[in-house]
């Protein structure tokens, strides 16, 4: 029989009466991801997702790597199905895992019998297969406490399955079960990590990026699109809304006290993001803010910038150390792109001495000369929507 994947569900199994809708969304997500790699059958039984290639043209390796990045799965293994009798199980272990056993110093067999009609208990299966393997591989010692390699046998409804150790899955909840949210995506390290972390909770992500040409270059915009593309490896395709921000920043520069530049700029970003979010069905905003990291990320500053919106603001990085954020950025593959030295609109017209503990009254007074609504409408009229997905050609 052909090699297939067994994908084990994570916290979905705890969802009680709602479990079915989570499973349906997960199966839908996996089927969509598998389309790029050929013809696969995807079905769920006993809290396990089966991914089975339907012909020899299927790209097994590509599909396997894609499955490792799908939210909702806690562990994954590649396995060989076989008939549900002890001789067939042993033959499958020898054919599929024999080379691994030859390279191991010690082993044990762990069995699970989901099909209670099978005549042998789990312990009996392990003892029988383990005894035969010990004879077939005399240089690989039996060690049931600290084995170098573990052979797994699962007797399920449709067949028996043999495999080696599983690998960790992406965890979290299936994309789409938690609604939609809009992430303010800059070209830095933090915001792609924030998008990833909220996506891991089942949220479908859309992004907004503020682009200040000619103060920021086309390369800077492409850098952000590339960061978004890399995040879609986990959350699936997304839309990035590119907002021209130059006119607003110049108006702030010309009409507002310098120490409030960043705060007023961020208030415009939040309000524009909220309007795009509501039009696109997003129920929350996501930012990469981290308490105390920069002058605009004090409690007082974040309260002032958040005061212009009435939707929830998710800040998954707010209490993390920078090294923790960097570690996740490396894990998801965004770090190398994030540190490329292209400009970001947040660095344009940066005040020398920014206000760190503003009040809402101070900031609204500082922006009193601006016609907020005219500036916002002008920015919204020119929004460019770019759809990105991981299989696209890289933007850089």
Average per-residue pLDDT for the chain: 96
- 189-193 mean pLDDT: 97
Q: Is residue 140's pLDDT more than 90? A: yes
CA 90 distance to own-chain centroid: 38
What tokens were used for 165?
A: 């150790």
Q: Is residue 343's pLDDT more than 90? A: no
Task: Place 198 in a pLDDT band, splitting at 50, 70 and 90.
Answer: very high
Task: Place 394 in a pLDDT band, splitting at 50, 70 and 90.
Answer: very high
* pLDDT tens readout for residues 239-276: 999 999 999 999 999 999 999 999 999 999 999 999 99
Task: Place 95 in a pLDDT band, splitting at 50, 70 and 90.
Answer: very high
Q: Is residue 380's pLDDT more than 70? A: yes
**What pLDDT, on a 0 to 100 scale, did the predictor assign at position 295?**
83
* pLDDT tens readout for residues 154-169: 999 999 999 999 999 9
**What pLDDT, on a 0 to 100 scale, did the predictor assign at position 296?**
85
User: Kind of pairing, strands 160-163 and 73-82?
Assistant: antiparallel
Topology classification of domain 180-388: Rossmann fold (3.40.50)
**What pLDDT, on a 0 to 100 scale, did the predictor assign at position 350?**
84
**What pLDDT, on a 0 to 100 scale, did the predictor assign at position 182?**
98
Q: What angle do CA 388, 392, 396 make, to 5 degrees?
A: 90
Domain-by-domain residue ranges, the chain?
A: 4-170, 180-388
- 5-27 mean pLDDT: 94
**What pLDDT, on a 0 to 100 scale, did the predictor assign at position 1?**
63
Topology classification of domain 4-170: VC0802-like (3.30.2130)
279: Cβ contacts below 8 Å, ≥ 6 apart: none
Q: Is residue 117's pLDDT more than 80? A: yes
- Strand runs labelled E in the chain: 4-9, 40-45, 48-53, 73-82, 106-113, 141-142, 149-155, 160-163, 167-171, 180-184, 204-211, 238-244, 285-286, 313-314, 384-388
* pLDDT tens readout for residues 211-247: 999 988 999 999 999 999 999 999 999 999 999 999 9
């Amino acid at each position: 029989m052909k090699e297939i994947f067994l994908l084990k569900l994570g916290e979905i199994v705890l969802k009680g009466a709602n479990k079915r809708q989570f499973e349906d969304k997960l199966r839908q997500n996996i089927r969509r991801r598998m389309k790029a790699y050929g013809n696969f059958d995807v079905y769920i039984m006993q809290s396990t997702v089966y991914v089975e290639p339907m012909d020899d043209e299927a790209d097994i390796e590509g599909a396997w790597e894609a499955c490792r990045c799908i939210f909702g799965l806690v562990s994954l293994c590649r396995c060989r199905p076989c008939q549900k009798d002890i001789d067939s199980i042993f033959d499958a272990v020898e054919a599929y895992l024999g080379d691994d056993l030859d390279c191991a110093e010690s082993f044990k067999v762990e069995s699970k019998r989901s099909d209670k009609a099978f005549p042998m208990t789990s312990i009996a299966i392990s003892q029988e297969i383990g005894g035969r393997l010990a004879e077939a591989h005399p240089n690989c010692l039996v060690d049931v406490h600290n084995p170098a390699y573990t052979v797994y046998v699962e007797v399920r409804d449709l067949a028996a399955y043999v495999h080696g150790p599983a690998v960790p899955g992406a965890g979290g909840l299936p994309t789409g079960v938690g609604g939609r949210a809009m992430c303010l995506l800059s070209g830095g390290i933090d915001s792609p990590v924030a998008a990833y972390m909220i996506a891991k909770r089942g949220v479908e992500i859309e992004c907004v990026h503020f682009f200040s040409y000619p103060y920021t270059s086309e390369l800077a915009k492409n850098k952000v699109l590339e960061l978004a593309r890399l995040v879609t490896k986990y959350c699936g395709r997304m839309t990035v809304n590119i907002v021209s921000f130059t006119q607003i920043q110049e108006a702030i520069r010309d009409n507002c006290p310098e120490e409030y530049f960043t705060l007023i700029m961020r208030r415009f970003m939040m309000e524009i993001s909220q309007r795009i979010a509501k039009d696109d069905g997003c129920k929350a905003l996501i930012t990469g803010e981290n308490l105390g990291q920069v002058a605009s990320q004090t409690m007082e500053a974040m309260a002032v910038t958040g005061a212009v919106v009435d939707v929830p603001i998710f800040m998954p990085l707010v209490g993390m150390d920078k090294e923790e954020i960097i570690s996740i950025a490396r894990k998801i593959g965004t770090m190398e792109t994030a540190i490329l030295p292209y400009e970001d609109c947040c660095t344009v017209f940066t005040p020398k001495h920014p206000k760190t503990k503003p009040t809402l009254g101070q900031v609204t007074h500082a922006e009193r000369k601006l016609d907020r609504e005219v500036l916002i409408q002008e920015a919204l009229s020119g929004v460019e929507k770019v759809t990105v997905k991981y299989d696209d050609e890289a933007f850089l």
